[in-house]
Amino acid sequence: DKFKTGLAKTRDNFSNKVNNLVARYRKIDEDFFEELEEILIQADVGFQTVMELIDELKMEVKRKNIKDPSEVQSVISEKLVDIYSAGEDAPNRLNIQDGALTVILFVGVNGVGKTTTIGKLAHMLKQQGKKVIMAAGDTFRAGAIEQLEVWGERVGVEVIKHSEGSDPAAVMFDAVQAAKARNADVLLCDTAGRLQNKVNLMKELEKVKRVIEREIPGAPHEVLLVLDATTGQNAMVQAKTFKEATDVTGIVLTKLDGTAKGGIVLAIRNELHIPVKFVGLGEKMDDLQPFDAEKYVYGLFS
Ligand code: GDP
């Protein structure tokens, strides 16, 4: 039960406070909602999302004629799942091409856990019987190529690389050729995480995407933005910047095990309209989990 253990810190921060709140109040009034609002904000659910959630809770409490504070918890759970799903069937499903090469591009600033995530996903896909290849497209950060190679050895997946400082678009070109030649199912592409200069970032990502698309029409099939949950609202700022720079199709939220503010999942989904496709719940190979709103909310309260 990875979600339960991975969310321990958030659970301590969030549900203990909610339980405490519910125990202290005899009726549901404005003060009750104000305290609940504060708890949600402290869990990094995000101001806008908290306001929407509180409004909906108030309506639901009225509609169902709920008087007892202890009955509010299940309504909160329900609303959290609703907000996350946003009426979509399976917002978290990875766009995998059946019987054809799927290309997944990873973007994100240094240190967020991009390399680790690529390694973990390579492992997960391999476990599912897929042939995977990784492309060392971060030719900028010292040590990035070696680090991906370490993961390659660990999970038994080939890494296509050039030397440090070389053109990432050339690496991608070779990686696509290799993936085709080896009949690979999935190509996982690392990229450099320079955010200091948005114009350069945009240009580099555009060039890399152009090379991939020229070789495989319709690719990349996913552009996954990796964000570090422990950076809280800073992760939101990064998400906005990357969203402007490229078409982000999903988010991988890492280090959820290391934060008490796991509410960021909801803020990202509700305010940026990007689904969280995976969460990192630890440093080990099998600590990457497809995100599941129900398991997440269950992990928060149980
Ligand atoms: P990159 O610079 O974005 O490629 O980041 P790395 O993949 O090198 O990760 C930076 C650090 O975060 C490493 O020490 C990883 O082990 C750690 N890390 C990555 N994902 C997770 C996670 O989900 N949970 C925890 N606790 N640590 C993680």
pLDDT in tens, 68-114: 998 988 898 898 888 888 767 777 889 999 999 999 999 999 999 99
Q: 12 or 151: whose pLDDT is higher?
A: 151
Tell me if 156 CB under 6 Å of ligand 1.
Answer: no
Q: Is 287's pLDDT higher than 80? A: yes
Q: Is 267's pLDDT higher than 70? A: yes
Tell me if 231 CB under 6 Å of ligand 1.
Answer: no
Q: Looking at residue 262, what is its pLDDT?
A: 86
Tell me if 259 CB under 6 Å of ligand 1.
Answer: no
Reported as a pLDDT band with limits 50, 70 and 90, residue 195 is low
Q: Is 245's pLDDT higher than 90? A: no
Per-residue pLDDT, averaged over 147-166, amounts to 97
DSSP code of 257?
Answer: G
Q: Looking at residue 159, what is its pLDDT?
A: 98
Tell me if 122 CB under 6 Å of ligand 1.
Answer: no
Give, in degrees to the nearest 5, the angle at Cα 233 between 230 and 236: 105
Q: Based on C-alpha coordinates, what's the Rg of the chain?
A: 21
Reported as a pLDDT band with limits 50, 70 and 90, residue 222 is very high
Q: Tell me the C-alpha distance between 204 and 138, whole Å.
A: 11
Q: What share of the chain is helix, strand, coil (3-state, %, to 5)?
A: 55, 10, 35
Per-residue pLDDT, averaged over 111-133, amounts to 97
- Is 152 annotated as belonging to a binding site? no
Residue with tokens 């190679």: 149
Per-residue pLDDT, averaged over 52-60, amounts to 94
Q: 19 or 152: whose pLDDT is higher?
A: 152
The b-or-e profile of 192-205 (16+ CB within 10 A means b, else e) is bbebeeeeebeebb
Per-residue pLDDT, averaged over 172-201, amounts to 91
Least trusted range by pLDDT, from 11-20, 22-31, 96-105, 174-183: 11-20
pTM of the model: 0.93
Strand partners, 223: 105
Q: From the alpha carbon of 119, which atom of ligand 1 is closest? A: 7
Task: Respond yes or no on whether ipTM tops 0.85.
Answer: yes
Q: How far is the CA of 135 from the centre of ligand 1 (A)?
A: 18
Give all strands of the β-sheet with 102-107 in edge-to-edge order. 158-160, 132-135, 186-189, 102-107, 222-228, 250-254, 276-280, 288-290
